[in-house]
Structure 1
Amino acid sequence: MKISVIGAGFVGATTAQRIWEKNLGDVILHDIIEGMPQGKALDMMESAPLLGVESKIVGTNLFEDCANSDIYVITSGLARQPGMSREDLLNRNAEIASGVAENIARFSKNPIVIVVSNPVDVLTYLIALKTKLPKNRVMGMAGVLDSARFRYFIASELGIAPQEVQAMVLGGHGDEMVPLPRFATVSGVSIEHFLSKEKIEQLIKRTRDGGAEIVQLLKKGSAYYAPSAAILEMVESIVKDQKGCYPALPGVKVNTESLVNMWAFQWSSEKME
């Protein structure tokens, strides 16, 4: 199994490390910054004798080194900064994602693509368009992370282990998020038996603002430990064919076409051909 992580920033490097340490396959860590993916990959490989990891991880600046990957995880692009709007992020990251998609189509046949870069719903649709992959091969990572945050906040409020909480959040990040509190349970019992309606609404709001809360605390950069764990969950389920059921964003048009077209107009219609 060959797994390529595109983008060697905090999310990408941490994701590559988690996948590599799980021995899920050989990992390619790609970034355009010369030396950065190579240095991080070498640092990880030097820990192999201590961790007992048999897989390899290689850093590169050449996309052709990612050729014939079974799975691509796209984390490249700018991280969200305090005060940055959805449109700001789109304008900066869409061109990057478009170039990555073109390279995937060029160097690999029928891979699975997990999109992490934000705004994830729009970029998932854009990458699906550019790669021309079947709709079940391109997915955006959002719900797994947001569901984990919702579960943690519920568990923290009740003072119980997070593993005892089951909950699902659909949709994209932020205002597009759709938490499903009526399906959230603690050992099979609805959280409505333990928490007031007002408290549940507070936890939903905190879940919606989960990423922004971390951005505000960090002052620079955004979350990467929880996102990388969510990506690992998806990758491991795919590699091991665990038949897991996870919320993910499809690479289809769901109120994203206007934003994609806005970006296409700004960067010229040739980008979408």
Structure 2
Amino acid sequence: MKKITIVGAGRVGESTAHNLAKHETCREVMLIDIKEGVPQGTALDIQESAPIYDFDTRLAGSNDLKDMAGSNMVVITAGVPRKPGMSRSDVLDTNLAVLYGIVDEVKKHAPQAMLLIVSNPVDVLTYAAWKRSGFERRHVFGMAGVLDSARMASFVALETGFSVKDVSAMVLGGHGDTMVPMTRFATINGIPIDHFLSKEQIEKIVKRTREGGAEILSLRKTASAYDAPAAAIASMIDAISRNRRHILPAVAVLEGEYGLTDICMGVPCVFGEHGIEKVIELPLSAQEAAEFRKSAETVRADLAKLKK
């Protein structure tokens, strides 16, 4: 990719920019934020690390959304973060207004760009961005599953003591308390995790995965997670930029997959140069299907608010 714009120069945006620059995922990173001086200072700070990390990516900051012009990808992290005790849905109204304003500017200044939504509630905002933009569904997606799956894999490695490099995990559904960690598909070097872990240990990992973001928020008090989300964003963009055809769980627009339409949910997708090139339908057990439907109902409850 030539240019990636990140709207929102907070901690997630900053860490994402640094990840993209260090790995030379694109030629130029543009950081945009409403706070004067913040995106400019953040961009300069990262740029000055180039000789140390040995990258040629150029970074710039702006307070004007028109400077996203020419972007191949626009990442939206802007919005209000949740506070301890809040659900992701509690910030919907505020973040929806912010999202609409940004998407309208993308249509004006970067109509060929793909949209990667990070702001919460991500399932609902991804749907809203798709509807507002009129873009193809393969060009609008949200970050959640990569992060949730990484959290699950981390917890499996911590619980077993084995290398995290050998752990593979998959989380589907909405990005919230009803997400569906797919324990049946979780493996350690190809071996199912129930070979090493008891039912109680696996249930503990599932619970901790669902509460992963809230756990960090409760510890930090004044800040949500940002390093792991940024790494997840960067991995999705890398798969597209380098046409890897990498299978990653992401919030995607569903058009009949898993028996659902007119909704965005976390599902495994093939990412390549055209964005989401395919949605993969996994064969779900009766219990997994029930949990997935329950998660969909939660997302639909928030979607209903958009249509009022």
Q: Please, what TM-score do these two structures have when normalized by structure 2?
A: 0.83
Amino acid paired to 2:4: I
Aligned to 1:7: 8
* Residue 222 of structure 1, CA deviation: 0.2
* Residue 173 of structure 1, CA deviation: 1.8
**Cα RMSD, aligned residues only:** 1.3
* C-alpha contact (below 8 Å) 2:82/2:90 kept by paired residues: no
Describe how 1:102-121 pairs up with structure 2 within 5 A.
Answer: 102-121=104-123
20-29 or 78-87, which moves further after superposition?
A: 78-87
* Residue 263 of structure 1, CA deviation: 4.3
* Residue 172 of structure 1, CA deviation: 2.2
Of structures 1 and 2, the one with the larger relative CO (CA 8 A, separation 6+) is: 1
Q: Deviations over 1:241-262 (max 9, x none)?
A: 1110001111453254552442
Distance in 1 (alpha carbons) for counterparts of 2:107 and 2:67: 14
* Residue 264 of structure 1, CA deviation: 5.6
Describe how 1:154-233 pairs up with structure 2 within 5 A.
Answer: 154-233=156-235
| Aligned match for 1:149, one of 137, 140, 151 | 151
| Aligned match for 1:240, one of 224, 239, 242 | 242
Aligned to 1:268: none
| Aligned match for 2:38, one of 32, 36, 41 | 36
Distance in 1 (alpha carbons) for counterparts of 2:213 and 2:178: 13
Q: Secondary structure at the match of 1:246?
A: strand
Aligned to 1:74: 76
Q: Deviations over 1:11-61 (max 9, x none)?
A: 011101110111111100010111100011011112222222111010001
* C-alpha contact (below 8 Å) 2:169/2:183 kept by paired residues: yes
Structure 2 unaligned residues grouped into runs of 5+: 255-261, 264-295
| Aligned match for 2:125, one of 114, 123, 126 | 123
256-265 or 150-159, which moves further after superposition?
A: 256-265
* C-alpha contact (below 8 Å) 2:213/2:224 kept by paired residues: yes
Amino acid paired to 1:112: M
Q: Secondary structure at the match of 1:175?
A: coil
Distance in 1 (alpha carbons) for counterparts of 2:42 and 2:253: 31
Amino acid paired to 1:78: V
Amino acid paired to 1:23: E
CA gap 1:257/1:171 in 2 versus in 1, 3 angstroms = closer
CA gap 1:251/1:165 in 2 versus in 1, 3 angstroms = same
Q: Secondary structure at the match of 1:160?
A: coil
Amino acid paired to 2:302: L
91-100 or 43-52, which moves further after superposition?
A: 43-52
Distance in 1 (alpha carbons) for counterparts of 2:44 and 2:307: 38
Distance in 2 (alpha carbons) for counterparts of 1:195 and 1:85: 30
Aligned to 2:302: 259
Distance in 1 (alpha carbons) for counterparts of 2:304 and 2:127: 11
111-120 or 86-95, which moves further after superposition?
A: 86-95
CA gap 1:123/1:157 in 2 versus in 1, 3 angstroms = same
* Residue 239 of structure 1, CA deviation: 0.5
Q: Please, what TM-score do these two structures have when normalized by structure 1?
A: 0.93
Aligned to 2:19: 18
Distance in 2 (alpha carbons) for counterparts of 1:261 and 1:96: 19
Aligned to 1:270: none
Amino acid paired to 1:191: I
Q: Secondary structure at the match of 2:79?
A: coil
Amino acid paired to 1:156: L
Distance in 1 (alpha carbons) for counterparts of 2:198 and 2:120: 33
* C-alpha contact (below 8 Å) 1:150/1:203 kept by paired residues: yes
Structure 1 unaligned residues grouped into runs of 5+: 266-273
* Residue 85 of structure 1, CA deviation: 3.1
* C-alpha contact (below 8 Å) 1:127/1:251 kept by paired residues: no
